[in-house]
Amino acid sequence: MEVIIRPDEQSAARLVGGIIAKELHARPQLVLGLATGGTMEKVYDELARHHREEKLDFSLCRTFNLDEYIGLAPDDPRSYRAYMNRQLFGRVNIDPRNTHLPDGMARDLSAECRHYEHLIHDCGGIDVQLLGIGRSGHIGFNEPLSALRSRTREKALAPTTIEQNAIYFDNDPAKVPKRAITMGVGTILEAHRCVVLVTGKAKADIVAKAVEGPITAMVTASVLQLHPRCTVVVDEAAASKLQGTDYYRWIFENEPEWAEFRR
Ligand code: PGA
């Protein structure tokens, strides 16, 4: 795992957008794992800008989102399908048929979860997985005590997550769907590369637990410590409870891989 600290939310998102753009440029048929949530909006703005200004080509790219609420139709503006159409798919030249999210309206949810795993497998696996970390420590909707080898499945949302996401449901926790389909922790760990973005003071404690704490199912993001190629990008606020910041900064300033991203 590497940790990169950027001065603010905007530059952290710019770096993550730059990493994804570089991967897509090198491999136009990239299989890209996508995440939703407030933090990712700036990354999608960046990717849309790369498309607009540098002609970044999404025409062969295939995408798989981490999760979807159960019971929300794709055209419900609060569904993650609608979020993705708004934030990214409608702003770049991606073929909608190449974009995948679990179907939260499927009549047979277990069959839908198995189908989603097969689709990922048939595409050759995920090349780069974009991730956020929720206040519960989750990646996807893998809430505390999720099995660290879990696959795509139904999951009940943790109270912290329901509270966190209530802003999208009239600030009313009672309106937040209680269940979702999510890629499992094991599914996420199989991505060839993971790129995590976390910003803001409210995430400082959970970032410290995920990055420097013990690996535990209580904080599913901590399992990313086992991933052979995981980059965690944080802003100063989210980095404020980390212990090893001098070392992380030194790596970013000195590793040749990051030279083009230091600007
Ligand atoms: P957020 O969500 O970007 O809205 O904070 C992140 C997450 O829950 O994974």
Domains in the chain with CATH codes: 2-261 (3.40.50.1360)
pLDDT at 202: 97
Site to substitute for ligand 1 among 9, 16, 34, 36, most atoms within 8 A of C-beta: 36
Query: Atom 2 of ligand 1 has which residue's CA nearest to it?
Result: 37
Which atom of ligand 1 is least distant from the CA of 35? Answer: 9
Q: Which of 158, 154, 160, 144 is nearest to 216 (CA)?
A: 144
Q: Which tens digits make up the pLDDT trace of 142-174?
A: 999 999 999 999 999 999 999 999 999 999 999
Which atom of ligand 1 is least distant from the CA of 139? Answer: 9
**β-strand pairing of 67-69 with 179-182:** antiparallel
| DSSP annotation string for the chain | -EEEEESSHHHHHHHHHHHHHHHHHH-TT-EEEE--STTHHHHHHHHHHHHHHH----TT-EEEESEEETT--TTSTTSHHHHHHHHTGGGS---GGGEE---TT-SSHHHHHHHHHHHHHHTTS-SEEEE---TTS-STT--TT--TT--SEEEEPPHHHHHHHGGGTTT-GGGS-SEEEE--HHHHHTSSEEEEEE-SGGGHHHHHHHHHS--BTTBGGGGGGG-SSEEEEEETTTTTT-S-HHHHHHHHHH-GGGGGG--
Which atom of ligand 1 is least distant from the CA of 132? Answer: 9
pLDDT at 99: 98
Does the C-beta of 39 come closer than 6 Å to ligand 1? yes
Which atom of ligand 1 is least distant from the CA of 135? Answer: 8
Ligand 1 centroid distance, CA of 54 (Å):
28
- Over the chain (263 residues), the average pLDDT of each successive run of 10 is 98 98 98 98 98 98 98 98 98 98 98 98 98 97 98 98 97 98 98 98 98 98 98 98 98 96 85
Ligand 1 centroid distance, CA of 23 (Å):
23
Which atom of ligand 1 is least distant from the CA of 161? Answer: 8
Does the C-beta of 37 come closer than 6 Å to ligand 1? yes
Does the C-beta of 134 come closer than 6 Å to ligand 1? yes
Does the C-beta of 124 come closer than 6 Å to ligand 1? no
Query: Atom 1 of ligand 1 has which residue's CA nearest to it?
Result: 37
Which structure tokens are listed for 109?
Answer: 């949810």
Ligand 1 centroid distance, CA of 56 (Å):
26
pLDDT at 263: 74
Q: Which tens digits make up the pLDDT trace of 205-226?
A: 999 999 999 999 999 999 999 9
